[in-house]
Structure formats: C-alpha cells, structure tokens
C-alpha cells in the first residue's frame, strides 16, 4: 500500500534530527578527546621570579683635599663609619694594581672607537703608593692649580680607600654595585667647578668590583677650617665673633666667623698663601744645610722629622734619619718662618683681633709640637690673652672631624636650609 505524503515527511524529519544529534555527539566527543590530549601534553608555564628592588643608601663623605694630604670621613645612617688620610699624590698607570690602597679605574668621557662611542677608561693610584708604580707621579704641591685640576682623581682615590666601601654599596650582583654619595667638601675653590668635575665620573672599578656613581645634587662646600669654628662653638664660646687660625701646607689662613645662631658663618678670611708648612720645610732644609754635616736629608724625610719632633723641657728635639738630633736647626727654622714669611702677616692680623675675640688654632702646622709652642709664645708676646687661644686636641683633623656634628643622629637637628646658608 502506498505511503501517505504526511507520513513520509515525518519520517524524513525524524531521520534528519537523528543524524544531526549523532553528528553533535561525535563532534563533542572529538572536542573532549582533543581537550584531554592537550591537557596531558602541554608543559606547565614557568613562574617568573619577582624583580628584587634594593633601596638606595646615601653615603655622606666629608672630604678635605689639601696640597699635602687628603682627609675623608664617611657617615652612614647618621653614624660616622670610617676616616682615612692619604698623601696628595697621583699617578696614572696602564692598569691599577689589585689590593693597593688608592688604586682604581674610572671613566668620565666617551670616545669613538670603530664608529661606536665607548667609555674612555683611566687607571690611577692615589696616595703614597703612587710613588711605587715606576711611572711619573704628581704632587699637589707642585703647582698652585693641581689641587683643583686633579680634584676628581683625589676624591675617587679617597673613596676607593674607604675600608668598608663594599658595605656602603647596593645591588644584587656582587661584581656590579651602585654608590649614592652626598659629597661635602672643605675648600677655598669654586664649589661649582668641583661639583661639575666630579659629576663627570660615572663609574669606578676597585679590586675588580664596578661601582656606578651617583652624586647628590645637594652636595655642599664649606670653607677650609670650618670644623674649627664648629669646635669653638661647641666649647660654649659666647662672644659674637670667633676666629680660626688654620696653618695648612700652603697657607696660613685667618678666618672671621659670626657666632650668632645655630651655625657659625664666615664673615672674612685672609689666605696668606706661602705661609704654610711647605715654607717651614724650606727653612728647615736651609738650616740643616748650614750645619757641618755632609749628609743630605730629603724634603720628604724632613717632613717626617717635623711630624715626630717634640718640645720637652724648653727644648726642641728632632731626630734625623741617621739618629742625629737636629733640634737646634728646627728651632732656627721655625723662628725664621714666624718672622720672615706670609705667616708673619697672619700673626700681625691676629695681634689686634685676637685680643678682643677667641681664636681656634688648627691645621697641620699646629700638629707640629715645636711649631705650636713657638707660635703660641709669639702670640702671647703680642698681648693676646691666654684664654683666647683655643687649642683643639687634634689640630690636624679638627676641621674635618667636627663636621660630623652636622650629620650624626645624636646632635640637635639642623635643617638643610641652615646647612646651605652656612656653606
């Protein structure tokens, strides 16, 4: 019997639906299988390590780069950490010796090499070791401009000599570190000139470790001998004016300070160039040459004799390298230095001002015991009251060491604005 039209249509629709459902089921199974295979074969993704961020640690380095010696003191987190003293001598070498104090490599400019800009690398040794390198060395006392010309080298040599330099640095790589430095200097030179020169130094290498250098923009430059004024203020000196008498290697500087306020402020100064210890060494050499001994003493040896000389029982005692006592020659040299050099101008100036106001005696000249005694004796003969002569316990270091009062935690808080005004 023939089928009806409606039945045929119904069966066709049912077949189509079953076919579609079957296709969907197969397709779903394939998707599930593919998904399972993918999950089994796919490698787990690597977990990225979090990037370590090391906070910067600012080091305050107070530095006095003189003609004779470089003195530096580091202050970290409000605590005076270390201090060093180096001779003001530099020597450029082909490669820096490892493990030698004051030796480092550095770069302060780029040069074109094979069409590419590369760092120009310099190698230097600063301090007494500079004389041992078998190359020409330069002393800051050789020329009046050397102290400013070689300031970046002197500064980096002092930084390289700090015993705990690595601990001051930051970074995750043991061979690649960073130093953030707030440099405080004592100098008569233009502070902008010094700041620009040191800012050109981008990195240095000390004993195989590279330190990236970042110098703070708020670096300060205090007058030479400023620490002595702080010492006088710390001794509760009440007069509105105090003086400092700083005999260094090249100068016999007299400075007047206002003693009103938290910090002393310099009002005037007289450098008296040529009145320093270098002139005393010349006078000493002449005096020794006028003796009947045929043995020659080098200027460097005379300096060591000066530093170890004594004044005992009213007599000057100075022992030469061969064991002779040349105290009489030293006494004659000091007296000639006092009456016939620019030191004379400084003493004449203080002859009137120090009668009214106290004066702090500082500098390497007063660290020489016979010189200290004979200069004080001369000042007393000029009518200066004994109580107006303020002696620091360590006259050679007081100008630098007393600056820590401005930065250590134990002291009364002093604002940055007050520091800038004092500088």
For the chain, what's the residue count?
A: 423
Cβ contact 108:215 at 8 Å: no
CATH number of the domain where residue 357 is located: 3.30.420.40
Q: Is the pLDDT of residue 367 over 70?
A: yes
Q: Rounded to an integer, what distance in angstroms lies between the CA atom of residue 50 and that of residue 352?
A: 70
Whether 157 is in a domain gets the answer yes
Q: Rounded to an integer, what distance in angstroms lies between the CA atom of residue 38 and that of residue 32?
A: 10
Cβ contact 189:147 at 8 Å: yes
Count of the separate structural domains present in the chain: 2
DSSP line for 171-187:
EEETTEEEEEEEEEEE-
96: DSSP letter: P
Asked whether residue 179 falls in the same domain as residue 248, the answer is: no
Q: Rounded to an integer, what distance in angstroms lies between the CA atom of residue 104 and that of residue 208?
A: 9
Whether 12 is in a domain gets the answer no
Residue where one domain finishes, among candidates 222, 257, 276: 222
Q: Rounded to an integer, what distance in angstroms lies between the CA atom of residue 368 and that of residue 308?
A: 8
Whether 63 is in a domain gets the answer yes
Per-residue b/e over 355-389, b at no fewer than 16 CB within 10 Å? eebbbbbbbbbbbbbbbbbbbbebbeeeebeeebb
- Provide the residue range defining the domain that includes 71: 58-222
- Written as six digits, the tokens of 85 are 């003293």
For the ranges 91-100, 284-293, 357-366, 373-382, which has the lowest average pLDDT?
284-293
| Greatest distance between any 2 Cα atoms in the chain | 159
Asked whether residue 151 falls in the same domain as residue 255, the answer is: no
Whether 81 is in a domain gets the answer yes
Q: Is the pLDDT of residue 320 over 60?
A: yes
Asked whether residue 233 falls in the same domain as residue 297, the answer is: yes
Q: Rounded to an integer, what distance in angstroms lies between the CA atom of residue 250 and that of residue 271?
A: 9
Asked whether residue 241 falls in the same domain as residue 203, the answer is: no
Cβ contact 126:158 at 8 Å: yes
Q: What burial class does residue 252 get, using C-beta atoms within 10 Å of its C-beta: 0-12 exposed, 13-18 middle, 19+ buried?
A: buried
pTM for the structure as a whole: 0.79
Whether 351 is in a domain gets the answer yes
Taking residue 185's Cβ as centre, other Cβ atoms within 10 Å add up to 23
Asked whether residue 287 falls in the same domain as residue 386, the answer is: yes
Q: Is the pLDDT of residue 285 over 90?
A: yes
Would you state the pLDDT for residue 3? 47
Q: Rounded to an integer, what distance in angstroms lies between the CA atom of residue 212 and that of residue 225?
A: 31
Cβ contact 365:396 at 8 Å: no
Taking only the tens place, the pLDDT of each residue in 216-258 is 887 788 988 899 999 998 876 778 999 999 999 999 999 999 9
Q: Rounded to an integer, what distance in angstroms lies between the CA atom of residue 165 and that of residue 344?
A: 43
**Selected residue with higher pLDDT from 30 and 262:** 262
403: DSSP letter: G
Q: Is the pLDDT of residue 393 over 50?
A: yes
Cβ contact 331:342 at 8 Å: no
**Selected residue with higher pLDDT from 377 and 399:** 377
- Written as six digits, the tokens of 243 are 């003086």
Q: Residues 103-129: what's their mean pLDDT?
A: 92
Would you state the pLDDT for residue 80? 85
Q: Is the pLDDT of residue 119 over 50?
A: yes
Whether 259 is in a domain gets the answer yes
Whether 293 is in a domain gets the answer yes
Would you state the pLDDT for residue 244? 96
Asked whether residue 190 falls in the same domain as residue 276, the answer is: no
Asked whether residue 258 falls in the same domain as residue 384, the answer is: yes
Asked whether residue 260 falls in the same domain as residue 172, the answer is: no
Place of tokens 């003086």: 243
Cβ contact 244:231 at 8 Å: no
């Amino acid at each position: 019997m023939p089928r009806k039209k409606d039945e045929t249509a119904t069966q066709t629709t049912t077949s189509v639906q079953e076919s579609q459902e079957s296709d969907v089921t197969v397709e779903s199974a394939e998707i599930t299988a593919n998904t399972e295979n993918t999950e089994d074969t796919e490698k787990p993704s690597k977990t990225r390590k979090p990037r370590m961020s090391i906070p910067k640690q600012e080091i305050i380095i107070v530095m006095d780069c003189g003609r004779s010696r470089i003195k530096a003191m580091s202050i970290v987190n409000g605590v005076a950490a270390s201090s060093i003293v180096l001779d003001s001598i530099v020597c450029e070498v082909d490669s820096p010796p490892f493990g030698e104090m004051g030796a480092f490599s550095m770069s302060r400019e780029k040069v074109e090499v094979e069409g590419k800009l590369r760092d120009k690398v310099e190698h230097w040794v600063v301090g007494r070791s500079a004389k041992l390198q078998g190359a020409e060395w330069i002393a800051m006392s050789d020329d009046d401009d050397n102290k400013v010309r070689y300031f970046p080298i002197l500064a980096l040599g002092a930084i390289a000599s700090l015993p705990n330099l690595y601990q001051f640095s930051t970074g995750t790589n043991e061979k690649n570190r960073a130093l953030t430095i707030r440099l405080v200097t004592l100098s008569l030179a233009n502070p902008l000139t010094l700041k620009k020169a040191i800012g050109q130094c981008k990195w240095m290498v000390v004993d195989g470790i590279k330190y990236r250098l970042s110098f703070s923009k708020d670096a300060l430059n205090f007058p030479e001998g400023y620490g002595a004024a702080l010492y006088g203020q710390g001794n509760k000196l009440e007069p509105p004016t105090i003086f400092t008498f700083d005999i260094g290697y090249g100068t016999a500087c007299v400075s007047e300070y206002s003693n009103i306020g938290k910090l002393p402020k310099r009002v005037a100064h007289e450098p008296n160039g040529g009145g320093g210890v270098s002139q005393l060494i010349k006078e000493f050499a002449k005096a020794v040459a006028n003796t009947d001994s045929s043995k020659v003493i080098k200027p460097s040896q005379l300096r060591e004799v000066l530093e170890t000389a004594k004044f005992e029982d009213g007599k000057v005692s100075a022992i030469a390298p061969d064991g002779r006592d040349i105290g009489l020659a030293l006494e004659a040299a000091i007296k000639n230095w006092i009456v016939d050099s620019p030191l004379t101008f400084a003493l004449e100036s203080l002859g009137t001002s120090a009668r009214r106001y106290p004066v702090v005696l500082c500098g390497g000249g007063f660290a020489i015991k016979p010189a200290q005694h004979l200069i004080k004796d001369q000042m007393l003969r000029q009518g200066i009251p004994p109580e107006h002569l303020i002696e620091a316990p360590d006259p050679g270091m007081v100008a630098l060491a007393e600056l820590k009062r401005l930065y250590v935690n134990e002291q009364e808080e002093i604002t940055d604005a007050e520091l800038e005004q004092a500088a």
